[in-house]
Structure 1
Amino acid sequence: MIVFPAIDLKNGEVVRLAEGDMDRATVYGDDPAAQAMVFSEAGAEHVHVVDLDGSFAGSAQNREAVQAIVEAFPGYVQLGGGIRTPEDVEGWFDAGVARIVIGTAALKNPQFVKDMARAYEGGIVVAVDAREGMVATDGWAETSDVSIVDMAHRFEDAGVASLLFTDIGRDGMLKGCNIEATVDLAQQTDLPVIASGGVKGLDDIHMLALQAEQGIEGVITGRAIYDGRLDLATALAMAKR
């Protein structure tokens, strides 16, 4: 199982939000590339980056910060936030991003995502962000009438690398990952699932790793690391075991 330490970007700074609310942001640093290197030095081979401003604007807003991370981090960079056109996707792959996460466009323009998944095999991740079981879009500002399972089924035969499932109500809240819902989603789809939202410590990593054979590809964690509740090196070792 992969542990993805998270770098969320707002106005060029490293932040964490509470329940996806841009007005409830905690700033953890002003040098995203340096933060990526801290994760690398702890043993991380993957990092998950989100352009939060881009999620709301619908286009890249933290391009310089993302590029700095890509240039500094020796591993794989997974990027989401405001990526909604073929030009966006091509540009980020050309810039060195390893995988692209698409959320809002996956719901509103599924054919675009399918086209990109076929053009960039293994490079597209579909974000399934849930509020009470329904898919949320536009930086989580809007909630649709589409269930997370229905959303997942739409992309099973499209060449998508995996699903990124976030329980919005737990994101940034240190309430513990919604393991039951994550495993349930993995069991109902043929696609691997990445867990996100609410990780508070090693117990979450341990429980998810035990479910890896159920289709859990990885887990994203942010605030628990920044607040010192989760030692990244220990989490990485646990996930590998």
Structure 2
Amino acid sequence: MILYPAIDLKDGQAVRLLRGDMDKATVFSDSPATQAKAFEDAGCEWLHLVDLNGAFAGEPVNGAAVEAILAATNVPAQLGGGIRDMKTIATWIEKGLARVILGTVAVENPDLVREAAKEFPGKVAVGIDARNGKVATKGWAEETDVMVTDLAKSFEDAGVAAIIYTDINRDGAMQGPNVEATEALARAVNIPVIASGGVSSLTDLINLRDTGVISGAISGRALYDGALDLKEAIAALK
């Protein structure tokens, strides 16, 4: 199981939100690129980047910060937030991004996900963010009636590289991930599932790993707060 350190970008800074609330942001670094390099130096295999402003705006906002991270590091990075058309997808992949994450658009325009996955094999992931089993979109601001498993299954034949499943109620709350729901999703689909939201200790990571079906986990606040040691976590997951 791969551990993805998260860098959430808001107004050019690395922040963490509490349960997706933009008004509850804690700034952890004024230099996201420096933070990314520190994660790489600690041995991470991937980086998980989120353009928070972009998720609300519907277009990239923290592009300069993302480009600085790509320039400063050599590990592959995935990015979500405000990526809602083929031009933006192509631009980011040309700039060296290893994987784009399509969230809102996966609900509103699933054909785009299929087109992108076909055009850029292995470079398109679907981000599914949920409250109580139902998908939320537009930076988690809007709730839908779409069930997580139904959305995930609809992309089984599309060739997407991964599904990033976030339990919004757990995100940034340091209360542990929703192992049960994430495992159920991973068992329901043949697409690799990455857990996000609430990963706050080594025990959480071990619990996710021990399901035997979850391919990755994303952690942010726990790494910044020191509740999780990145080097130790990577070694344990090996």
Range of TM-score over shorter length: over 0.9
Question: 1:73, CA displacement in angstroms?
Answer: 1.2
| 8 Å contact kept, 1:6–1:220 | yes
Distance 1:165 1:120 in 2: 21
| Cα offsets for 1:167-216 (capped at 9, x unmatched) | 000000000011111000001111110000001100011111112x32x1
Structure 2 CA distance, aligned partners of 1:122 and 1:235?
A: 26
Gaps of 5+ in 2: none
Shift of 1:239: 1.4
1:218 aligns with 2:216: yes
After superposition, the C-alpha distances for 1:126-160 in whole angstroms (9 at most, x for unaligned) are: 01101110000000000100000000011000000
1:188 is aligned to 188
Give % identity. 52
Q: Root-mean-square deviation (CA), in Å?
A: 0.6
Corresponding position of 1:236? 234
The residue type equivalent to 1:46 in the other structure is: W
- Structure 1 residue 11: deviation in Å? 0.1
2:215 aligns to what SS in structure 1?
strand
Is the Cα–Cα contact under 8 Å of residues 8 and 15 in structure 1 kept in the other structure?
yes
Cα deviations by residue, 1:63-96 (Å, 9 ceiling, x for unpaired): 1000000111110011000000000000000000
Report the AA paired with residue 68 of structure 2.
A
The equivalent residue for 1:89 is 89
Partner residue in 1 for 2:163: 163
1:43 aligns with 2:77: no
Q: Distance in 2 between matches of 1:176 and 1:210?
A: 15
**Separation in 2, partners of 1:141, 1:124:** 23
Match of 1:205 in 2: 205
- Measured in 2, the distance between the counterparts of 1:143 and 1:117 equals 25
Say if 2:119 is the partner of 1:119: yes
Structure 2 residue identity aligned to 1:208: L
- Contact kept? 1:45, 1:74, Cα under 8 Å: no
Give the aligned partner of residue 9 of structure 1: 9
Deviation at 1:35, TM superposition (A): 0.2
Displaced runs of 4 or more, over 4 A: none
TM-score after normalising by structure 2: 0.99
Provide the C-alpha distance between the structure 2 equivalents of 1:162 and 1:114, rounded to a whole number of angstroms. 13
Gaps of 5+ in 1: none
In the TM superposition, 1:52-201 aligns within 5 A as 52-201=52-201
Structure 2 counterpart of 1:227: 225
Letter in 2 for 1:58: G
Native 8 Å contact 1:206 1:239 kept in 2 = yes
User: Whole-Å Cα distance in 2 between the matches of residues 234 and 206 of structure 1?
Assistant: 12
Normalised TM-score (structure 1): 0.98
Aligned length: 238
AA aligned opposite 1:230: L
